[in-house]
Amino acid sequence: MKRILTGITPSGYPHLGNYVGAIKPSLDLAKKDNESFLFIADLHAIIKISDAKQLKELTKGIALAWLASGLDPEKTYFYRQSDIPEVSELAWILSCVAEKGLLNRSHAYKAATDLNKENGKKDVEEGISAGLFSYPILMASDILCPNATHVPVGKDQQQHLEITRDIAEKFNKKFGNIFNIPEAVINEEKTVLGTDGRKMSKSYNNIIPLLSGEDELKKSVMKIITNSQEPGEKKEWEDNILSSIYSSFANEQSIKELQNKFSDGIGWGDAKKIVFEDLNKLLTPIREKHAELKSKENYLEEILQSNAKKVRAFTKPLLEEVKSSIGISKF
C-alpha cells in the first residue's frame, strides 16, 4: 500500500484555482487504496508570515476549506505540522547529514539571491533567513518522519523531492536502512485562468472565491473578460477566458453543450449566466458545509489533535529508531 503525503501551505484563502488544481486531485487520490497523510505546513508559513493573528486565521481557514470540500478526517491523516514535534527534531538530525552545497542549489534560495542581485544588493544574501535556506531540510523531514512512500508534486516542484531522496539515501547508507526512498507522483496540475486571463491568483485580484456567497460569486463571474462580439455572432471556444474557466470544473456533457451554444452565437451575458449557475451548483454544498463546520466550536481543533495523535504513532517510533542509529539513546 502506498503511503502518500501532501503538504498545504496556509498562504491565502482558497479560490477556484486551488480547488481544481490542488484540493480535488488530492481528495481523489485519497479515495484510492492508499494511506493518505495531509498536513497544514504552518512551520513553513512563518518563513513569509510574521503576523501571529494572520497565520492563525489562515491556518484555520485552509483547514476548514479542505474539510468542507470533502476531506474525510477518518480516512485521511489530517494534521497540523507544528503538532508533530518529531518533525522538527528530525529536521535537525537531517541537517547534520545534508550537505550545504545541496541547499545552495535550492530553487527558493537561488531565487532570493538572484532577486538581490537584480536589485543591486552588495550582499546577495541580504534579508534571506536561515529558515528559507534550510527550507528543504524541514520539507524532507515532513516526508521522512511518517516514512511516506509517495509524494504528489508538480513538474516544477520535483527538486524538493530529489533533495529529500538524496538526504534519505545518504542517511540510510551511513546509518542503516530506516527511511523509505519516496517516489514522485507527478501531478498534472491544471492552471486555472483568472477573470483577467492571467493565472488565478489573489495577488492579481482576479480570483473566483471558493467560499463566497452567491452575490459575490456572481460578481466574480461577471467580471470575466470577454471580447466585443454581439449575440448571434459565433464565439471561438479556444483561447477564450470564459470557456477555459468553465472547462476547468464542468463535466464533459456540460462543456459540449456550452461549446455548441458558442457556435450558435450565444451572448456573453447568457454564457456567463450558465457558467455562474453551474459553478454555484458545485460550490453551494461546499459553502454550506463550511458554514456548518465553522459554527461548531472546538470541532476543528479536536479533529487536528485527534489526527496528530494518530500520526505520532508513526513518527515517535521512527524518530527513536533514527536516534538509536546515530547514538542518541538511553544507556
What mean pLDDT is predicted for residues 72-89?
Answer: 97
70-76: long-range contacts, CB 8 A cutoff, minimum separation 24: 70/27, 70/286, 71/27, 71/30, 71/38, 72/30, 73/303, 73/306, 73/307, 75/30, 75/36, 76/30, 76/36, 76/37, 76/38
What mean pLDDT is predicted for residues 13-33?
Answer: 88
DSSP assigned state of 193: B
Distance from C-alpha of 93 to C-alpha of 272, rounded to nearest angstrom: 55
Residues 306-331 have pLDDT tens digits of 999 999 999 999 999 999 999 998 88
Residue 188, burial from CB neighbour count under 10 angstroms (0-12, 13-18, 19+): exposed
- Specify the pLDDT at position 159: 87
Residue 250, burial from CB neighbour count under 10 angstroms (0-12, 13-18, 19+): buried
pLDDT at 208 over 80: yes
What mean pLDDT is predicted for residues 295-310?
Answer: 96
Residue 32, burial from CB neighbour count under 10 angstroms (0-12, 13-18, 19+): exposed
- Specify the pLDDT at position 284: 97
The kind and range of the H/E element at 115 are helix 107-118
pLDDT at 304 over 90: yes
pLDDT at 101 over 80: yes
Nearest CA to 7 among 112, 148, 132, 106?
A: 148
Average confidence score pLDDT of the chain: 94
Cβ neighbors of 30 (< 8 A, separation 6 or more) are: 4, 36, 38, 71, 72, 75, 76
pLDDT at 157 over 80: no
Residues 240-290 have pLDDT tens digits of 999 999 999 999 999 999 999 999 999 999 999 999 999 999 999 999 999
Active site residues: 117, 199, 202
pTM above 0.75, yes or no: yes
Distance from C-alpha of 162 to C-alpha of 159, rounded to nearest angstrom: 5
DSSP assigned state of 184: E
- Specify the pLDDT at position 56: 95
Q: Cell digits for 48?
A: 513569509
Q: Cell digits for 324?
A: 538509536
Q: Which domains does the chain have, with CATH numbers?
A: 2-192+298-326 (3.40.50.620), 202-291 (1.10.240.10)
> Which of the pair, 157 or 159, is modelled with greater confidence?
159
pLDDT at 43 over 90: yes
pLDDT band at 190 (very low <50, low <70, confident <90, very high): confident
- Specify the pLDDT at position 189: 65
Query: Per mean pLDDT, which range of 26-35, 49-58, 64-73, 236-245 is the poorest?
Result: 26-35
> Which of the pair, 272 or 32, is modelled with greater confidence?
272
Cα separation values, 202 from 36, 88, 194, 207, 209, Å:
29, 31, 9, 6, 9
Task: Give me the percent of the chain exceeding a pLDDT of 70.
Answer: 99
> Which of the pair, 64 or 118, is modelled with greater confidence?
64
